[in-house]
Structure 1
Amino acid sequence: MWTFGRKLAVGFALSFALLVLIGALSYRGVEILTQNSYQVTRTHAAMGHITSLLSAMKDAETGQRGYMLTGDDTYLEPYRTALADVPRVLAELRPLIRDNPAQQTRLNQAAIMIDNLLNMHKDRIDLRKNSGEEAATRQVRMGEGKRRMDELRTVIAQMEDEEGDLLKLRAQEVEQAASGVRNAIVWGTVAGALLVLVAALTLSRALSGQVGLAVRHVQRSSAELQAAANQQAAGARETATSMTEIATTISELLATSRQIADSAQRVVVFAEQTASFARGGDGTLQAARETIAAMRRQIDLVVDHMLDLGRKSQQIGVVLDLVSELAEQTNILAINATIEATVAGDAGRRFSVVADEIRKLADRMTASTKEIRVQIDDMRGAVNTTVMATETGSKAVDAGARQFDEVAGTFGRIAGLVVTTTEAAREIELSTKQQATAVEQLNVALSNTAQASRETEASSGQTSQTATELAEMSRDLLRLVQAQPA
């Protein structure tokens, strides 16, 4: 079955295939253009090297003629430059024409001619140096150099003509490739537009016909659902009437609730006793709160004393540092005195004994200072531990105070609830005597409500059937736009 979803998929597939074809043709055309552009660039480079080669040979010929006429070495500068340029130009030209065997053959011929010409120029220059101007002039008048140069020009001209023909051919290929790309883009765009237009018209007609039929089915089902809704409305009106009777009965039931207070008298008494106990408990909690506050003040006082003790221990530590430094200096002085007494010999022996005693006293002072420092550090640790324990106790006292506050609030809420319970008990007592009559009337009203519910149930069954048909129509509509799995 050709569903709407399948038709849509086929339309998109054809459009995608056309786009891929256009892209492939365009890519191929661009690739051809790129290759031809590279070939054109290489042809221009080859023509430039051919021209440079002929120009270098002309410079060499001009240089050797000028030297033969004048004998001045400055005229040989173009000749020497040509000797350096010609091998380089030949080496660069060979890769540019490697794909043309005819040009390779001509280049080999030209290379041989160039080599012969350069050798001839060298021989003439040597002849001019060794035999003089007349011998060189006779050699020039023989015309051998002109003949060889004309042959080289002929070969060079053939190479230039060949490269010119290649340049024209490649220009035509570039134009053909560009024309192919343009045609692919233009005609591909036109074909794509026509394909999209045809697909849009086809899908629009299919969607209009199929969805229109489904919509008509939905409309008929909606009419049936409307009839069922009318029946449900009638049942709802009957239910509303019954509910009105129920509301009247409930009003009477609420009116009788005022008579319940007589039967709840004992509840009121118990509630008043509970309120009295709650007030007594509140006084006890207040006394406990004051005791906790006193404990909190004592703990704060202990913490302050401990902190003061810590500060004083730090001051003692500073004094011990001074004493330790003094003992070290005394020890150094005693050592220096011992050294001086040793230098003095027998005259300083007694002074050496005194210095040794001073040094021992300084050592004992240092040891005592270390012991005192250890004891002070232990005392600091004990003070810190005491402060931390005191802080923990302070937090526990604060937590206890908060708990006492919560208990006091709970007692207050209990007292309020007791008062509310007392009032509710009085109202309940007044209403109990009239509830029997109200219940009988409520039973009649509930019977009417049950009848209306049965009618509503019948209407709901018809509504359910109509809803089932609507669901089937919805599935048909879904199958029109989406292919179902086999």
Structure 2
Amino acid sequence: MKWTIGYKITGLIFILISIFVILSIITYKSTLQLMDSYSSISHSNELINEIEKLRSTMYYAETGKRGYVITAFDHYLTPFNEAANKIDKHIENIRNYIQENKTQIQRLNALKPLLTEKMNEHIKAIELRNTTSYEASKEYLIMVNKRNVMDKINVILNEMSAEAKNKLSIEEKNNEAAVESTKLLFYIRLFISTLSLVIAFIYIKYTISNQLIKITELVGKISVGELPKSVESSNRQDEIGDLYRAFAQMNQYIRETSDMLEEISKGNINIKLKAMSDKDVLRLTFSRMVAYLHKVVKALDEVAKQNLRYKIDPESKEDILGHTLIAMVEKLNIIINRLKEGSQVLSKSATEIMSVTSQVAAAATETSGSVRETIVTIEEVKQTAQLSTQKAKNVSDTAKRASEVSLLGAKSVDDSISGMGEIKKQMETIAESIMKLSEQSLAIGDITSAVNDLAEQSNLLSVNASIEAAKAGELGRGFAVVAQEVKALAEQSKQATTQIRTILNDVQKATAKAVLTAEQGGKAVELGMKQVLQSGESIKTLSESISEAAQVSNQIAASSQQQLIGVDQVVIAIQNINQATNQNVTATKQVEVSAGELNRLGLLLKEIVDEFRV
């Protein structure tokens, strides 16, 4: 049996489903056990609750009976009556919970008469309280309490409750074990499920997906023209193995075809493409293409043999190469015919050119001689112009230096005028300062006169003070000393003022002389300024004359230089003419030679064209 990919995937899915079904059945059973365990626990809890409810009901009945016996109030009978109605219901519920427990049923059967007896005691006590008195009811209760019916009831209820609680404890432990077992089973199921899926994924990836990826990469390479040298074969017996083998055959087929096309691209069309079958469209098409290329090569070979009469039949209207060959042959026919006509014209023109070039060469030789004589004459004119230019340049330089010296003289005169103006301003300033000094010396004289008066007054005051001190006797002795010192100071001040007045008189005399000298200096400066201004005007006039002479000499030098440049240009032009004439002579000789070659070329072209069959 051939295991295809479909069979493999189906088998893998069947195995996974089987594992999931088995795990689901196990999980279902575990869940049922857990539910039964929870049900048993709930059953035991309800049984314990019913037992406790029965106990509470008996206590309510006891409390109601006791309250009524003591007080004879009817409202105490309400809880008693309710308890009496609930006892049978509790007994029935307990019986339903312990149907399968014989021991509990025996206890319940033993409990029921005790409950009936106890309730009858309560009813009897209530009736005695109603019919007789409290004392009679009390004596009856004391008597019946000696029977210990309630203690027996409690013993049975405690035994039933203890067994139920013991069973509940066992069931809770079993439930915990069942829960742990269910958790463990869940983890095992999760692990097995995950492991199964991982194994299935790995199996699909390495047996199917990876192989398909390799095939896809191979197809991608082939689709962009990259042909591997060989394709890895596979021994698999499924669709992937078939796909590998098919791609290997396709790669071999494309590679062989590619090698043949490479030979064709190298110009080798003598190859035979063997078709794989009648349906091998690619190689059959290439075979027809090679046959067509042979036909085109045959046509080109005839054209190469100068046979332009060979007939080319296009394969179809879309045969661009065939139609192009036909157009090429037609154009070659036209070109050859035109070449025939051109060769005849070329031969005739070459003969005429040879005749003309001989005449031009003779004329060019005569022109070259005349130009050489003209060059000699121009050289003599050039030497004369150079001498004139040199003389004009010397005159221009001398005038330029004279102009510069006159400008310096004018500048010196301007500087002298400015200096004389400054001297005049300084002399005026000195005169003003001397006048101010004279005024201040007069003021100082007034001050010294005042100081002299103060000294005389101080002298008189000191004399008076000495007289007063002498009158005062011993007490005025110190004052007399001060008066004597004041008198001495007054004498010194008087002497100082006398000296200052003498100095001021000398200063005033010197000041008067300085003022007179300053006035004479100012007049001398004004006279010097007038003379300098006259000299400046003369130098300025001389400078303008020299500048005009320099400009004229510059113009003469410039004209001489332009004349020399013009002569140089004429010399260059004549030399160029001479060179061009020599070149014309040489070119004419070359044209004459070329005309001869052109004549021979026309004859050769005519011979070549005559070889074509048009």
Query: TM-score w.r.t. structure 2 length?
Result: 0.37
Pick the structure with more helix per residue: 1
Q: Which one has more relative contact order, counting CA pairs under 8 Å at least 6 apart?
A: 1
Q: Max radius of gyration: which structure?
A: 2
Query: TM-score w.r.t. structure 1 length?
Result: 0.46
